[in-house]
Copies of this chain bind each other. A is one copy, B any other.
């Protein structure tokens, strides 16, 4: 029972004030988003296409940033250096402060530049609207990336998988090295011109190359979607941008891990280089395996309870992220592959209600997170404290990303065309070149560490590149499409599942036909994979596809029996018997609920197997 002393009351009031300030800050962002949504709606309604919602969010962010920076009178700042105390040991995470016998606990926030000490309180207002950069990685990026994976248009994606992987891996690596080397030249030039006031190493340049190689053509893709542009081009662009985010994030952390031993730091060192390559491969494959594994393990059947199903789906995706982070892998990459795997396997096992719900849930999360990041970018231009605007570096970076993108697209397209049946035509290549916008991932990677001079310069430049590409290239998409004579208004039904499911039988035939067409169009490697996936993985992991007993050799009979879900049998029987009325009535009641984990099945109620499942076979044939 302590009535608080006067000191305590002051602290309590301060805490209350800080809580209120936090609320106001968050409210600012939310009102920004609200304003963005209302304007987007107006734009959509008027069919304005030159400015995408992300571009709009940036503009509003900029405006608020200007107001915060210049609109609030400076008198409210009390220019005061906070008290300091000295210790001989290195920084500890927890520090105790003894004020006349009372102890207060303090936690380490980070190192602070000696020139900033006097600004700590002065810039408090602007610092308050600054988020911990880890928020971007741990809260905002995961839903964006997961949604990208989960909403891949599968048929076109898998048909172009080889090309997408080539662009994403080889292309990003090329782009990273080209940009890195060009920027090293720019940095040398700046050194000569005396415009560089602090160190800027070769590894810093490579790091810049890595972060700026993550493309994010969200604006272009939105317009493609709206105009129903060519499906293959869409898949190439979307697939590349999704995958190169993953490559860029791992690449950048491998470059950070490149620490040559001995005296010649920041020089080329073969062992350190191979160590970095090893780290890249290790982190990437680790994250990939983890994401794919969790995507597959995800419960497969909790029908009847869509709420539980949706909640579980959400939790599993999130735990993939956390698991990867806990193991030292990259959560964002794991989440991407988790999304792709879930879209491919788990999606078929969800109830119809849950497929809708999960899609909508992640759609909303993705929408909010994306617009938040972009409006934060706008805000950061004026509220971030340590911008270093270097015209030479910025100009060089614009040239370098252009050249880097060209070295990525054109040579690789040439090589890919040697092997592709459907060539990537010249106008497609130009469009891909044009669509190299930068966005959320480049920003998040750049803001993650802004401690050194080089990183601060990179951050400023990245911000400007994002602004320019989103506004200019994003806005120029529609004219560019017509200028390059790219086909629009393609029948979107070719890509999507029909919503109704009354025409399943007819559809089944059509889709099976499409499958064989897709197979023909693909390279031999993917034909092999298709067959393996369709005959073995799908039957084991989902309740669709042919029963294993019919695809495995007869010697494996008992194993096949054990691994095949009872519904898969049902399905193959039903395929012959079903008619519309029967399906309709069968769909009304939902009596079987069994949990089906990878390869293990807990069948709890196997006496009555007629249920919704019968709608799966056709949809599983779809990719």
Residues of A within 8 A of B (CB): 1-3, 7-8, 10-11, 14, 18-20, 23-24, 26-27, 30-31, 33-34, 37-38, 40-42, 44-45, 81-114, 117, 120-121, 134, 198-201, 204, 259, 265-266, 299, 302, 304-305, 307-308, 310-312, 314-316, 318-319, 322-323, 325-326, 328, 331, 357, 360-361, 363-364, 367-368, 451-454, 593, 595, 604-605
Contacts and interface: CB of A to CB of B under 8 A. Distances in A.
A198 B27 CA distance: 42
A203 B107 CA distance: 33
Given A27-B322, A452-B2, A315 B85 contact: no
A319 B31 contact: yes
Nearest to A42: B604
A304 B315 CA distance: 30
Contacts of A265: 3
A490 B82 CA distance: 66
B91 A305 contact: no
A326 B23 contact: yes
Nearest to A260: B3
B98 A103 contact: no
B90 A98 contact: no
Given A34-B312, A204-B1, A357-B360, A95 B105 contact: no
18 contacts: A1-B201, A1-B452, A20-B326, A23-B322, A23-B326, A34-B316, A82-B96, A85-B96, A87-B97, A91-B97, A91-B99, A95-B95, A96-B117, A101-B114, A105-B112, A106-B108, A311-B368, A361-B364
A312 B37 contact: yes
Given A112-B103, A307-B364, A19 B325 contact: yes
Contacts of A357: 360, 364
Given A45-B604, A92-B82, A595-B38, A311 B87 contact: no
A173 B91 CA distance: 51
A3 B40 CA distance: 45
A105 B120 CA distance: 9
B1 A199 contact: yes
B88 A314 contact: no
A480 to B, nearest CB: 25
B84 A18 contact: no
Contact of A106 (B109, B134, B305): B109
Contacts of A93: 14, 18
A14 B105 CA distance: 18
Contacts of A361: 360-361, 364
Contact of A10 (B87, B90, B201): B90
A383 B311 CA distance: 26
Given A44-B305, A84-B103, 12 more contacts: A3-B266, A10-B90, A88-B99, A96-B120, A101-B114, A103-B117, A104-B111, A105-B111, A106-B108, A106-B109, A307-B364, A310-B360
Nearest to A90: B7
A593 B113 CA distance: 53
A83 B90 contact: no
A12 to B, nearest CB: 10
Contacts of A307: 363-364, 367
B26 A322 contact: yes
Contact of A199 (B2, B34, B305): B2
B311 A367 contact: yes
A8 B111 contact: yes
A83 B87 contact: yes
Contacts of A109: 104-107
Residue from A14, A307, A319 whose CB has the most chain B CB atoms within 10 Å: A319
A405 to B, nearest CB: 27
Nearest to A46: B604
A383 B305 CA distance: 33
